[in-house]
Amino acid sequence: AQKVTQAQTEISVVEKEDVTLDCVYETRDTTYYLFWYKQPPSGELVFLIRRNSFDEQNEISGRYSWNFQKSTSSFNFTITASQVVDSAVYFCALSDPSGTYKYIFGTGTRLKVLA
């Protein structure tokens, strides 16, 4: 069965600190996609990144970076020099590769960045 675990329920950091959000997944499929979404207080989930299971290269986008390691089934998300605007709930998701692209979401990590 597929599963996504985000063990960190809530994290609080002071602005400018770096923070890493953990995501561990379970799947028997060899081909799959992993995602991160951001849900700000407004409620609308915003797509951040998609990672193909065959591509283990780390990715950096501005202050955001992602570390994908198949050996540990992890897809962690780091925010460097956090800002108050980063405060949100972040969801990690695993895509069903059957063609429907249904997602299995983790329970989310609430990040609070304090000024």
Partner 1 sequence: GAGVSQSPSNKVTEKGKDVELRCDPISGHTALYWYRQSLGQGLEFLIYFQGNSAPDKSGLPSDRFSAERTGGSVSTLTIQRTQQEDSAVYLCASRSGTDDYGYTFGSGTRLTVV
Cα distance between residue 114 and residue 99, in whole Å: 41
Q: Which is nearer to partner 1, 13 or 49 (CB)?
A: 49
Cα distance between residue 10 and residue 95, in whole Å: 24
Q: How far is the CB of 4 from partner 1 (least distance, A)?
A: 8
Q: Tokens for 33, please give them.
A: 């996609």
Q: Which is nearer to partner 1, 15 or 110 (CB)?
A: 110
Cα distance between residue 65 and residue 49, in whole Å: 10
Q: How far is the CB of 102 from partner 1 (least distance, A)?
A: 5
Q: Which is nearer to partner 1, 3 or 16 (CB)?
A: 3
By the rule CB under 8 A, 91 interacts with partner 1: yes
Detail the DSSP E strand segments found in 22-95. 24-26, 33-39, 46-52, 59-61, 64-69, 74-79, 88-95
Of the listed pieces 16-24, 61-69, 80-88, 100-108, which binds partner 1 according to CB under 8 A? 100-108
By the rule CB under 8 A, 66 interacts with partner 1: no
Q: Which is nearer to partner 1, 15 or 33 (CB)?
A: 33
Phi, psi of 23 (to 5 degrees): -145, 125
Interacting residues toward partner 1 by CB under 8 A: 4, 33, 35, 37, 42-47, 50, 91, 93, 95, 100-108
